[in-house]
């Protein structure tokens, strides 16, 4: 046995130095901008703050933004799982092309996406012309907002669920079927429990992405106050009117509500992981 002992080398610096750089980076990128919004809002009196964040126009924008974001994330939780399942479990022509198209909302500028969706779903567009005789107005309506938010948030669910599906062995499903379980029972009792945590993560990411979306929505929403005006657009409008305190007050409400919802989703994800392990 050698008299010398060798300490395992780590490519990263020590814990304290690494932690210091991580905290500094997060502080400059995340905490400082967010704290600036809170500090700006703190200069307002309570009546002025309440007037800025609770007017009928602002409350209507909350309902539209949060409602559409939650609904878009829920839709993508279902159909994102379906897309990920097809990409993992089946072989078909142009599979790699379809897989690459999932990432298109990541690479496509949001303004381009908004213009394209507005053109397609307008009453003279490729899809809108078929919806118009049915009395369905897609562009410049609440439905247009939902379409845009669903489009830009789909990759978050697919890319979160897809690696977990790839790690799941298909033999487990086949064994359950061979023991008498139906396909639905095998999916619900064998495959779905391990998918709960990534599904919740994808849902949370899709919701957060949809809630803060601006570029793709303003072109298809119509931006009608009390009907199709989203909260990010209202913040931009107040900034253009030099109402900086009103803009930051609304931003603080959005930030607080988003953090609370994400906290609840993360707690549900942790509970789901513990239940799966148990």
Q: pTM (2 decimals)?
A: 0.84
Selection from 27-31, 130-134, 155-159, 263-267 with the highest mean pLDDT = 155-159
Q: Which residues contact 106 (CB under 8 A, 6 or more apart)?
A: 155
Mean pLDDT, the chain, integer? 85
Radius of gyration over every alpha carbon of the chain, rounded to an integer in angstroms: 23
- Domains in the chain and their CATH numbers? 49-277 (1.10.3720.10)
Between 253 and 168, the more confident residue is 253
Average pLDDT over every residue of 218-247: 90
Q: What is the 3-state secondary structure (H, E, C) of 111-173?
A: HHHHHHHHHHHCCCCCCHHHHHHHCCCCCCCHHHHHHHHHHHHHHHHHHHHHHHHHHCCHHHH
pLDDT digits (tens, 9 = 90+) for 194-208: 888 888 889 988 998
The secondary structure of 36-101 as a DSSP string is HHHHHHHTS-HHHHHHHHSSHHHHHHHHHHHHHHHHHHHHHHHHHHHHHHHHHH---TTHHHHHHH
How many angstroms separate the CA atoms of 205 and 207, rounded? 5
pLDDT digits (tens, 9 = 90+) for 33-91: 888 888 888 888 999 999 999 999 999 999 999 999 999 999 999 999 999 999 988 88
CA 45, 50, 51 angle in degrees (round to 5)? 100
How many angstroms separate the CA atoms of 35 and 104, rounded? 33
pLDDT at 46: 92
Nearest to 159 by CA among 90, 73, 70, 99: 99
pLDDT at 154: 93
Please check the confidence at residue 150 and state whether its pLDDT lies above 90. Answer: yes
How many angstroms separate the CA atoms of 93 and 103, rounded? 18
Contact 137, 116 (CB under 8 A): no
How many angstroms separate the CA atoms of 250 and 213, rounded? 15
How many angstroms separate the CA atoms of 108 and 214, rounded? 14
Contact 212, 235 (CB under 8 A): no
Ranking 170-174, 216-220, 255-259 by mean pLDDT, the lowest is 170-174
Please check the confidence at residue 1 and state whether its pLDDT lies above 50. Answer: no
Selection from 73-82, 100-109, 201-210, 266-275 with the highest mean pLDDT = 73-82
Give percent of the chain above pLDDT 90: 38
Contact 90, 166 (CB under 8 A): no
């Amino acid at each position: 046995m050698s008299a010398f002992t060798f300490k395992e080398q780590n490519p990263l610096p020590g814990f304290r130095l690494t932690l210091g750089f991580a905290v500094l980076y997060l502080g400059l990128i995340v905490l400082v901008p967010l704290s600036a919004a809170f500090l700006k809002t703190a200069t307002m009196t309570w009546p002025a703050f309440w007037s800025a964040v609770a007017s009928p126009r602002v409350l209507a924008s909350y309902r539209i933004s949060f409602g559409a974001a939650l609904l878009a994330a829920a839709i993508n939780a279902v159909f994102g799982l379906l897309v990920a399942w097809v990409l993992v479990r089946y072989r078909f022509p142009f599979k790699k092309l379809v897989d690459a198209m999932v990432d298109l909302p990541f690479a496509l500028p949001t303004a381009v996406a908004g213009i394209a969706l507005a053109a397609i779903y307008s009453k003279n567009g490729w899809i809108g012309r078929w919806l118009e005789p049915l009395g369905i107005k897609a562009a410049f309506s609440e439905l247009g907002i939902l379409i845009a938010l669903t489009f830009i948030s789909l990759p978050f669910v697919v890319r979160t669920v897809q690696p977990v599906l790839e790690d799941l062995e298909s033999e487990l499903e086949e064994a359950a079927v061979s023991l008498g379980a139906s396909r639905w029972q095998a999916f619900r009792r064998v495959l779905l429990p391990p998918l709960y945590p990534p599904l919740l993560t994808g849902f949370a990411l899709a919701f957060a992405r949809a809630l803060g979306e601006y570029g793709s929505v303003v072109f298809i929403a119509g931006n009608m106050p009390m009907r199709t005006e989203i909260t990010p657009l209202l913040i931009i409008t107040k900034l253009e009117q030099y109402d900086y305190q009103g803009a930051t007050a609304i931003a603080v409400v959005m930030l607080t509500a988003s953090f609370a919802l994400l906290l609840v989703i993360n707690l549900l994800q942790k509970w789901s992981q513990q239940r799966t392990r148990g």
